[in-house]
Amino acid sequence: MARYDKPDTRVHDALRRIGPLPVLSGTVSRIRTLANDPDGTTTDLVQVIESDEAFSANLLRYANSAANARPIRARTIRQAVTLLGRRALVRIALEAETYRFLERFPGGAHLSRGQLHVHAVTVAGYASTTADLRGAHTDTAHLAGLLHDVGKLLMPAAFGVQPLEDIAAEAPFGSPRAQLERKLLGLDHAQAGALLVGLSEPADDVTRAIAYHHGGPTGLAVPSDETACVVVADVLAHMVTGGDPDRELLAIALDRLGATPDLLDEVAEKAGVIAPAGAAGDLASAVGRLEAAAHTDDLTGLHNRRSWIDTVRRELEAGTGGALLLCDVDGFKTVNDAHGHRAGDLVLTEVARVLARHGVAGRLGGDEFGLWVREGESAGRQTAEAIMQEVSNTLPVELVTGASPLGITVGLAQTPGDGAEVMDLLEAADRELYAARPGGRRAG
């Protein structure tokens, strides 16, 4: 791994707070291991992927995206694994998890997380294409390209937001930004990224390529072919969007690869570079589809279960007090049986609209919803009553009256009395929901 003078304790403190990257652990780590194991089977891969709901959804969308341009649509995870192949599967896993990490990361300056992901995926694609053309290690170049800018998240966590905003205002990107960071802070975002990735990735060639993608401490060092691939990719990505390249560093990287500037045209042609606006639009759309698949319930547009629980957990970890409401739609099965699933879907979407007006709402499964309300029990109780009344006023009168009226039962838990962890609050709310269900807190 690339080594630098020991940074001050602010960086080490930030590294301890952040910990190993989830991008390189969990489901992705298992997929990488299986994909590189000659004894690993497709069944093994399918089982690992299907155990992660969000990643499964992302995989199917990537496999069927326009970027893959395949005439056969994958309808199952097994079909997607077969169509993509193991190498592409690993890359998709890494790219999907990179976006999820950027979206959830607690620190950072005023950065566009979506744009960071767009740039990361773009550089990863160009880097792997460059490696293919010049005989470098393709997977190393792809991973280093994908994570080359994660140091931009670590830097504000270590040094504060304002110093990094001031640097970005003077030097928005590239080598000039890295040079100014080194001058003012003693560390640039490339070095910071290598330190962060090094917590999770044992491969020295990956961390070295990240650390030196702006030339290292001298601004002119390109110690490996994979580093050169990332340098070329980063330069090309900025040129495509109208940026000025670091010509001196680019020349060193091209010399390392035994190439001429014509390599840029080759990479652009093979990678399918299109007009800047179109390229950004296509990638931004892919990010949007990924975000929707990973975080949104398709029917209601609310957070899905995993996303809602993660959101509430972040609120609690930030010290935000509040009330957690667990809401169950009573009589829902009767509506489905009597009026069909379209009527049932209408009920769920109307309930979702009501809940979304009152806090952070999520569909937890079937006809069960969760709601996080800041400010504690009093606000939570008032919100519960308001929800029940609004649902009664919103749904068709024939559904909320009669022998089996449609309604809402609510269970409530609050911080800190019912716990400080989201699962503790869910259990407490579920107990109250169960107790309320026989008589019911019903809408109407």
The CA distance from 376 to 318, in Å, is 15
CA distances to 56, 151, 331, 335, 382 from 283, in Å: 20, 22, 43, 41, 43
pLDDT over 50 (residue 405): yes
Q: Which CATH architecture has domain 9-295?
A: Orthogonal Bundle (1.10)
Tell me phi and psi for residue 131, to 5 degrees. Answer: -65, -40
Q: What is the pLDDT of residue 328?
A: 92
Contact between 380 and 323 under an 8 Å Cβ cutoff? The reply is yes
Determine if residue 110 is left, alpha or beta; phi over 0 gives left, psi from -120 to 50 gives alpha, anything else beta: beta
Q: For residue 264, count other CB atoms closer than 10 A to its CB.
A: 22
pLDDT over 80 (residue 98): no
Residue 7: band (very low, low, confident or very high) from pLDDT cuts 50, 70, 90 = very low
Residue 280: band (very low, low, confident or very high) from pLDDT cuts 50, 70, 90 = very low
pLDDT over 70 (residue 436): yes
The CA distance from 295 to 87, in Å, is 26
The CA distance from 351 to 320, in Å, is 26
Residue 395: band (very low, low, confident or very high) from pLDDT cuts 50, 70, 90 = confident
pLDDT over 50 (residue 399): yes
Q: In this predicted model, which residue has the larger pLDDT, 329 or 396? A: 329
Instruction: Express each pLDDT in 158-186 by its tens digit.
Output: 888 888 888 888 887 778 888 899 899 98
Please provide the CATH number assigned to the domain covering 305-436: 3.30.70.270
Residue 425: band (very low, low, confident or very high) from pLDDT cuts 50, 70, 90 = very high
Residue 225: band (very low, low, confident or very high) from pLDDT cuts 50, 70, 90 = very high
**Residue 86 corresponds to which amino acid?**
R
Residue 376: band (very low, low, confident or very high) from pLDDT cuts 50, 70, 90 = low
Q: What is the pLDDT of residue 289?
A: 46
Report, in angstroms and rounded to the nearest whole number, the Rg of the chain calculated over CA atoms.
25
Q: What is the pLDDT of residue 344?
A: 82
Q: For residue 16, count other CB atoms closer than 10 A to its CB.
A: 10
CB environment 17-52: b (16+ within 10 A), e (fewer): ebeebbbbeebbbbbbebbeeeebeeebbbebbeeb
The CA distance from 396 to 329, in Å, is 14
Give the predicted TM-score (pTM) of the model: 0.55
Tokens of 89: 């599967």
Contact between 122 and 104 under an 8 Å Cβ cutoff? The reply is no
Q: What percent of the chain has pLDDT over 70?
A: 81
Q: What is the pLDDT of residue 65?
A: 60
Residue 308: band (very low, low, confident or very high) from pLDDT cuts 50, 70, 90 = very high
246 secondary structure, DSSP code: -
**Per-range mean pLDDT, top range of 114-123, 153-162, 265-274, 278-287:** 153-162
The pLDDT of 284-305, averaged and rounded, is 63
**Residue 128 corresponds to which amino acid?**
S
Q: In this predicted model, which residue has the larger pLDDT, 113 or 214? A: 214
Q: What is the pLDDT of residue 239?
A: 80
Return the H-helix or E-strand segment holding 442.
none
Classify the C-alpha dihedral 277-282-286-292 as positive or negative. positive
Instruction: Express each pLDDT in 344-362 by its tens digit.
Output: 888 888 899 899 989 999 9
Q: What is the pLDDT of residue 440?
A: 43
Residue 397: band (very low, low, confident or very high) from pLDDT cuts 50, 70, 90 = low
What own/partner pairs with CB < 8 Å and gap ≥ 24 does 361-365 have?
Answer: 361/302, 361/303, 361/308, 362/297, 362/302, 362/303, 362/304, 362/305, 362/307, 362/308, 362/309, 362/311, 363/297, 363/299, 363/300, 363/302, 363/303, 363/304, 363/305, 363/308, 364/305, 364/308, 364/326, 365/305
User: 3-state DSSP call for residue 410?
Assistant: strand
pLDDT over 80 (residue 311): yes
Q: What is the pLDDT of residue 381?
A: 87
Residue 111: band (very low, low, confident or very high) from pLDDT cuts 50, 70, 90 = low
Residues linked to residue 413 through DSSP beta bridges, in sequence order: 324
Terminus-to-terminus CA distance in the chain, angstroms? 66
**In the chain, which residues fall in CATH 1.10.3210.10?**
9-295
**In the chain, which residues fall in CATH 3.30.70.270?**
305-436
pLDDT over 50 (residue 147): yes
